[in-house]
Amino acid sequence: MAAAAERHVAVLPRVKHWCPNLKPCSATSPGILTSVRPYLIIAGTTWRTLAPMMETPWLGHIYNLRGFIQYKLGSNKEAQKFFNKATEAFSRIRSADEGPWLVVNYGNLAWLHHHLGDQAESEANLSKIDTLIKKYPSPSQEELHPETYAEKAYALMTVSGDKTLVVDYFQRAIEMQPGIREWNTSHALALMYASKHSRTGLEDDILEKMRIAQEQDPENLYLAAHYLDQRAQRGERIEDEARELATKVLRSPVSSYSGLKPLLRVYRKYVSVDEAIDLSEEALKNHPDERYLKRCAALCYERKLIFSDSPPKKSMLDRAVSLLRR
């Protein structure tokens, strides 16, 4: 028992260092977890619907997020399954069985096994981290490997309310290893998220970073939709570009990163609500069983019903209600 306790004390600080997804913080107190549990359940359902259709550079990060959600819901076996899937996805997308990008992933597994009381397996994952660090040393002795900073940023991007740390991690990764397209894209998006509630709006340099990121990553329709939104907020006429982007989004696989949701917001605010409804219905026509698309369409109908100057038609009310029920 004493030996096990000593291992527990020795392992814990190292585990906490590598797993930003899972380590305890003030935002995960029992009261707050109880209040957000319904949203975690919804998020888990959404990812379960979308993930099979996705094969993007973010797939490994998405599986890590799903693992985090299952962990918070108390489904530890499901969490382990998704963390293992994340490892497989990283290997497939990177065309390599190992690399520094797996450090945070192994950290998540180490924390999960530590939480389950399996200290031997926790230590085994920490040993994998040590091996990776020795095999792929950081360019700077005082810094983590840039791949590790980037993966930490991805891990925190969705689960943390403080986007300034996400921005900082991506910035460090890019400074140490420039030229990674996905990092530049995610850094630009993180800057946008961090400035979302600013009274002065998006700064010129952030908008410029979004422009450069889009030029470097033209196939990223999610970024393209957000960039259109930011330009429209500054008074630019973007209607034709929005319609052109819509044709690309409709041809893309269904996912929350397809760009449809932010593009529909652009349509509702700067094109027309009627065209937003038409676009959402066309997406549903292509994928009639996708709950994510039904929710997107329901938001468009909701906007139409709330801000309409005339009484809504019964057919529109019925359609909105049917989408919400599904």
Cβ atoms < 10 Å from Cβ of 177: 17
Span of 14-18, 30-34, 76-80, 102-106 with lowest mean pLDDT: 30-34
Range 60-71 average pLDDT: 83
DSSP code for 288: T
Predicted TM-score of the model (pTM): 0.80
Q: Do domains 146-218 and 237-326 have the same CATH topology?
A: yes
- The whole-number pLDDT of residue 65 equals 81
C-alpha distances out from residue 3 to 120, 121, 124, Å? 12, 16, 17
| Radius of gyration of the chain measured on its C-alpha atoms | 22
DSSP code for 217: -
Residues 6+ positions from 5 with CB-CB distance below 8 Å: none
Return the percentage of the chain with pLDDT > 90, whole number.
Answer: 46
Average confidence score pLDDT of the chain: 82
| Top-level class of domain 237-326 | mainly alpha
Tell me: pLDDT of 248 over 50. yes
Spatial separation of the C-alpha atoms in residues 41 and 190, rounded to whole Å: 25
Report domain extents, the chain.
1-44+57-136, 146-218, 237-326
24, 71 Cβ separation under 8 angstroms? no
Spatial separation of the C-alpha atoms in residues 138 and 296, rounded to whole Å: 43
Tokens describing residue 70: 């299952």
38, 146 Cβ separation under 8 angstroms? no
- The whole-number pLDDT of residue 34 equals 42
Fold type of domain 1-44+57-136: 1.25.40
Question: Within 13 Å, how many C-alpha atoms sit on residue 172's CB side?
Answer: 20
Spatial separation of the C-alpha atoms in residues 232 and 305, rounded to whole Å: 23
Fold type of domain 146-218: 1.25.40
Spatial separation of the C-alpha atoms in residues 287 and 291, rounded to whole Å: 9
